[in-house]
Amino acid sequence: MAQRGGTATPVTDAERDRQELDATASAGKAPRTDRGRRTLRALLDAAAAEFGEKGFHEGSISGITRRAGVALGSFYTYFDSKDAIFRALVRDMSDQVRDHVAPALRAAPDQIAAERAGLLGFLEFVRGHKEIYRIIDESEFVDPASFRAHYATTAERIEQRLKAAAGRGEIRADVSDVHAWAVMGMNVFLGLRYGVWDEDRTPDAVADTVADMLRTGLAPR
C-alpha cells in the first residue's frame, strides 16, 4: 500500500510494473555507503547530460564517466551496460519530477490549486532540465517498457488524486482515467512548448490559465 496524505492507497498495476523494472535493473547494484550514493548520483547526472546532448546511440559510457569524474570501473559497480544506466535514468528523471512537485501538491488547499501547483512545479523543473524530453522520448525506442511505465505511473497518480478530490466533493464525481490522461497530456505538451521550445510566458501565467480551464471543466455538477 502507498501512503498519500496519511491515507493508504493501493499499489496500481503501473506502479507494480515500475517496481519490477526497478528491482530487475538494480539487483545487487544498490550503493551501501554515502560515498557510493554520491557516485551513483554523479553517474546519473552525467548520463542525463551525455544522453541529453548526444542521444542514446551517440552517447557513451566513457563520456558518462568522464563527465562524472569517476573511473570506468566505478560505472560497472552500478550498471552492467549503457542500456542499464539509460533505463535507470528514465526512472530517475520521472522520480525527480514526482519529488519536485510533491510538496506543492500536498500544501495546496484544494485539488484545482494542487493541479496548478503541479503544473507550475513541472514547468520550473523542465526549464532547468530540458534534456528530460529528449531522454523520455528516446526511451520509447530504446526501452519501451520504461517509456510506458513512465507515463502510465504518472497518469495513475493523477487519477488517484482526482478521484480522491471527487470523493471530497471538490470536483465532478465522474472523473476517470480519461481525465487523468488528458491532464497529463496537456502538461507534457505545455512543458514542451513553454519549458523547452520557448520561455515567452512565465510558468505562473501558464499555470493560471490551465487552472482556470480546469476549474470550469472539472467543476462539480
In a domain, 131, yes or no: yes
In a domain, 31, yes or no: no
Q: According to the model, what pLDDT value does residue 25 have?
A: 45
In a domain, 41, yes or no: no
Q: According to the model, what pLDDT value does residue 21 have?
A: 45
In a domain, 51, yes or no: no
Q: Which domain holds residue 91?
A: 11-25+86-217
In a domain, 63, yes or no: no
Phi and psi for 168 in degrees, rounded to 5? -85, -5
On whether the CB atoms of residues 44 and 74 are closer than 8 A, the answer is: no
In a domain, 201, yes or no: yes
**Mean pLDDT (whole number) for 17-46:** 74
Tell me how crowded residue 181 is: count the other CB atoms within 10 A of its CB: 17
pLDDT at 105 over 60: yes
Residue 208's pLDDT band (boundaries 50, 70, 90)?
Answer: very high
In a domain, 68, yes or no: no
Residue 6's pLDDT band (boundaries 50, 70, 90)?
Answer: very low
In a domain, 151, yes or no: yes
Residue 28's pLDDT band (boundaries 50, 70, 90)?
Answer: very low
The pTM of the full predicted model, rounded to 2 decimals, is 0.84
Domains identified in the chain, total number: 1
Beta strands in the chain (DSSP E): 2-4, 7-9
61 burial class (0-12, 13-18, 19+ CB within 10 angstroms)?
A: middle
CATH number of the domain residue 91 falls in: 1.10.357.10
Residue 119's pLDDT band (boundaries 50, 70, 90)?
Answer: very high
Residue 5's pLDDT band (boundaries 50, 70, 90)?
Answer: very low
Residue 214's pLDDT band (boundaries 50, 70, 90)?
Answer: very high
Q: According to the model, what pLDDT value does residue 30 have?
A: 83
Residue 17's pLDDT band (boundaries 50, 70, 90)?
Answer: very low
Q: According to the model, what pLDDT value does residue 29 have?
A: 78
